[in-house]
Structure 1
Amino acid sequence: MADFARSDHPAVQEQLDRLSLLSPGGDRLGLDRITRLLDKLGRPQDDLPPVFHVAGTNGKGSTCAFLRAALEAAGKSVHVFTSPHLVRFNERIRVTGSLIGDEVLASLLAEVLDAGEAIEPSFFEVTTAAAFLAFARTQADACILEVGLGGRLDATNVIERPLITGIASLGLDHQQFLGNRLPDIAAEKAGIAKRGVPLVTQLYPPAIGGRIGKIAEDVGAIWSPRGARWDAIVERKTLRYRDEQGELDLPIPRLPGRHQALNAALAVALLRHQQRISFPPSALTAAMGWSNWPARLQQLTDGPLSRGRDVWIDGGHNPSAARLVAGWAKRQFRDRRLHLIFASLKSKDAAGVLQPFGGIAPSVSTLPITGHDCRSPEELAAMATELGFAASVATSLEDAIAAAPTDAAVLVFGSLYLAGEALKLNGQLPD
């Protein structure tokens, strides 16, 4: 599955065009190519600031956003590498708080592509190498790396000695690479564990937690799962956190959804289980209100796409994410009608993503995802009808929103690519 990155900047687009010719652009796991590429570039991964390395099926990006907010609230300068982007390629690489500039990005991509001509690195490997070069050449207090896919064989896992590692929520996704069993997926995520480095995780069922614990023990990582060495619960509007250092009462995050409180708690645990970077408790409080992670239960502002309608977007694209979003929607719209606008890549479990919304969103419009290998709107509409939805087909987001019932709130759901398209059409570029 290619990333289909585009840029309005000619120099960046020139390098992205080179990348599309050099590499198939799809998901290709393994550390051989990225290691050889980074060796040719002078091993920039050895010169990064202290690294927070975060894996997971769902919630890892939000956890990184909370980490960044807390560290910046403490006055620290922070590099951040995340994926995918929503609108602009630059969103993947944040250098000391700001998205990487076009001229610098074009230069770095050219440097990486020149070095990688005989290696044929993947899209993600080239992006990772460019990020590492940017981060190594700019001083900062910390570096946050979000795993792209899996963990054990992900390009970011060339980091030999991170400050701390973490695993967010787990679920079925990318089964063609990670397997169809959650314990096997957990084992791939736990591949980021390193000897002597803390591994902080959420709480999982015994079969999954046991697999992670065994891997941590085998490599000599210091495993700290929620429910043992730390814990957190939500009581009304308070996130109550505890660990061996004591207890904290924090405000719940401004990011919607109860699941975001546990993502925030994981970020708190990651900060409190490392010793190198100091921060005041007030930074944790500030992070709850400062954190921003676009396309995660985000309400669109009034713009060209929303046109005064109550429109929400979320990039969830697997059943576990859908269950969380559906639970939020049930509470959020209990007194209002909700209309779903849905699209899905062919590689995703579209029925499993739609099913949790039964009884919550009675109607759904289906549409394609421009420029991507997606399921047809007709196929999705038939699937939705079988699940009990009143389904209709649309050709574009604009048409789908215009055709939605006027008395209903609208949720655009099923793909980060679709969410990114909504942000672009509405003039809300992530910054």
Structure 2
Amino acid sequence: MKISMPLRMVGKTYSDAINALNSLQSNYANIMAIRESGIRKNEMALLEMVEWTRRIGYSTSDFNKLNIVHITGTKGKGSTAAFTNSILGQYKEQLPKIGLYTSPHLKTVRERIRINGKPLSEEKFTKYFYEIWNKLDKSSSPLDKFPHMTPGSMPGYFKFLTLLSFHTFLQEGCKSCVYEVGIGGEYDSTNIIEKPVACGVSLLGIDHTFMLGDTIEEIAWNKGGIFKHHVPAFTIENQPAAGMKVLKERARERDTIVTTVPIFDALDKIELGIAGSFQKTNASLAVALASQALTSMEVLENPLGTTENTSLPKEFLSGLKNTLWEGRCQTIDRGNNTWYLDGAHTKDSIEAASTWFSDVVKDSQKPKVLLFNQQSRDANALIHFMNGKIAPEVRFDYVVFTTNVTWDSGSYSVDLVSMNTCKEDVDELKVQKSIAKEWTKIDNDSKVFVSPNIEHATNLIEGLCDESLDIYVCGSLHLVGGLLVVFDGK
């Protein structure tokens, strides 16, 4: 179903769209109230998402034509989505347009909605944004069924972007799309997808416990919620045993099976587009997902095998080698310094990223710098865990703890405005001072600094000494995204 609307929304700019979108963010007080209440996502969240879909002129069944690959997990789901998208993109003749929906973004919100690997243009983002906005503004819902959807209300930030992605991909005529789940699976906004062509679950771990549960079993139950009736599902080797048991149970509930995908031997012969030896696991899962998707769309006659010695077509190998994914095990040479960036912010992702950094720099004689930000999770625990994965092979000469504020002026880049953190804590550097104090217990020989923003931290680091530096940046995607914006100077 295609909605015909004018190319330009008169008087509306990209900045207008971003400001309107930012107004849909949940503020810190609301998030804290939800956490303290103990209320977790429930079925009503999905029913409301279906209703928002109706109000923009679609039925959820309309999305089936997008031939969606749906991916969840705690760690690696974004990389898996990127690998899958890149493989599908090698079949341009049969699939001229591939959509990719991921979160969060690094530098610009347009990164969340990509076509053929490229973020949506500002013009198209603005066009489709206001088509959705105006539809929602001019429609209403029965309050007896949807008491929270009062006249003039809008869906939250992530829900709106999910609606925008579906609308964009349909209007642009995408032949297949890859969707990364936001949080969890069962009650995630993306889970209104009725008939995906394949479902995938990357590594399970403990995160977002206030929404998903405190145990690996509860989290696996949520993640397995994306499984659909008779739709092939895939996961990785070495899942936690308790989590794998639940995934199999959830698959049986949906009359499907979940296939465990090994690391393919063929990956030892190529250099993946995303660095880090652990990415072979995500790349292998992507191979299985892309294979199933291409078979469902009759691009391939049969799916590839799922044994270690399975032969991979040249298109698959090319897609894996050419995958681009900023902010994940990314190396940037800037002046005389080398920056190693990863948005790792959970125990599992910190372990993977820190192992990568340690492997790369352990023989380097350059002074080492850590630039770290984490505003909401247990930052003290994360820095202890990170150091445990690096020391004693690598130790930091300098350590800088910063907020996720972008600029020295105290402002955020417009696409990086965050209302989800406590403003007072950020302004007073409360978290940064706390983890700086904690770091001295870990390594009292490091020179420790606290910075009010990312631009200040960057200038501080670049002025530390006359020597070339190896700089490890981790703790949050907000930090990595803000740093890339500062590097761009925009």
TM-score range relative to shorter protein: 0.7 to 0.9
Q: Tell me, in whole angstroms, the C-alpha distance in 2 between the residues paired with 1:155 and 1:138.
A: 21
Q: Which of the two has higher C-alpha Rg?
A: 2
Matched-pair identity in %? 25
Go from structure 1 to structure 2 and tell me whether the alpha carbon gap of 1:354 and 1:408 turns closer, same or farther (over 3 Å shift). Answer: farther
Q: Distance in 2 between matches of 1:410 and 1:149?
A: 30
TM-score normalised by length of structure 1: 0.86
- One-letter amino acid of the counterpart of residue 437, structure 2: A
Amino acid in the other structure paired with 1:260: Q
Question: More strand by proportion, 1 or 2?
Answer: 1
Corresponding residue of 1:261: 280
**Alignment match, 2:318:** 286
Q: What is residue 3 of structure 1 aligned with on the other side? A: none
In 2, the alpha carbon distance for the partners of 1:67 and 1:23 equals 29
Mapped contact 1:232–1:265 kept (Cα < 8 A): yes
* In structure 2, distance between residues paired with 1:353 and 1:151: 29
Question: Which SS does the other structure have where 2:89 is aligned?
Answer: helix
Number of the residue aligned with 2:461? 401
Q: Secondary structure at the match of 2:251?
A: helix
- Determine the structure 2 residue equivalent to 1:243: none
Q: CA RMSD in A?
A: 2.4
What is residue 51 of structure 1 aligned with on the other side?
Answer: 68
Cα offsets for 1:16-48 (capped at 9, x unmatched):
333444563687942133211111112264244
User: Which of 418, 421, 425 is residue 486 of structure 2 equivalent to?
Assistant: 425
2:361 matches 1:333: yes
Q: Deviations over 1:160-189 (max 9, x none)?
A: 000000011122221221122122111111
SS in 2 for 1:256: coil
Alignment match, 1:246: none
Deviation of the 1:263 alpha carbon: 0.8
Distance 1:25 1:270 in 2: 36
Partners of 1:384 and 1:181 lie apart in 2 by 29
What corresponds to 2:349 in structure 1? Answer: 321
CA distance in structure 2 between the aligned counterparts of 1:368 and 1:98, rounded to whole angstroms: 29
* Structure 2 match to 1:343: 373
CA displacement at 1:425 relative to structure 2: 1.3
Letter in 1 for 2:15: Q
Moved more, 364-373 or 193-202: 364-373
Give the aligned residue type for 2:433: E
Distance in 1 of aligned mates of 2:119 and 2:59:
19
Q: SS in structure 2 opposite 1:116?
A: helix
Name the CA shift for 1:354/1:339 in 2 (closer, same or farther; >3 Å): farther
CA deviations on 1:89-129 (whole Å, 9 max, x unpaired) are 11111124432122221122223223334343110001011
Equivalent residue runs for 1:32-431 within 5 Å: 32-43=47-58, 45=60, 46-47=62-63, 48-75=65-92, 76=95, 77-117=97-137, 118=151, 119-203=153-237, 204-226=239-261, 231-232=262-263, 239=267, 251-274=270-293, 275-277=295-297, 278=299, 281-302=313-334, 307-336=335-364, 337-358=367-388, 359=391, 360-363=394-397, 364-370=399-405, 371=412, 372=418, 373=421, 376-388=431-443, 390=446, 391-395=448-452, 396-404=456-464, 406-427=467-488
Question: 2:166 aligns to what SS in structure 1?
Answer: helix
Question: Partner of 2:371: helix, strand, or coil?
Answer: strand
Aligned residue identity for 2:277 = R
Shift of 1:350: 4.3
Tell me if structure 2 keeps the 8 A contact 1:339–1:410: yes
Q: Say if 1:95 and 1:319 are closer, same or farther in 2 by CA, change over 3 A.
A: same
TM-score by length of 2: 0.76
Q: Partners of 1:299 and 1:22 in 2: how far apart?
A: 34
3-state SS in 2 of match to 1:255: coil
Q: Which amino acid aligns with 1:384?
A: W
Secondary structure in 2 matching 1:106: helix
Give the partner amino acid of 1:198. Answer: P
- Count, aligned residues: 401
Instruction: Tell me how far apart the structure 1 counterparts of residues 50 and 85 of structure 2 sit (CA, whole Å).
Output: 27
Aligned partners of 1:44 and 1:136 also within 8 Å: no
Larger displacement relative to structure 2 (388-397 or 212-221): 388-397
Q: Counterpart in 2 of 1:12?
A: 14
State the alpha-carbon separation in 2 of the partners of residues 224 and 387 from structure 1. 42
Contact 2:181/2:190 (8 A) holds in 1: yes
Q: Secondary structure at the match of 2:259?
A: strand
Name the amino acid aligned to 2:207: D
Deviation at 1:387, TM superposition (A): 2.6
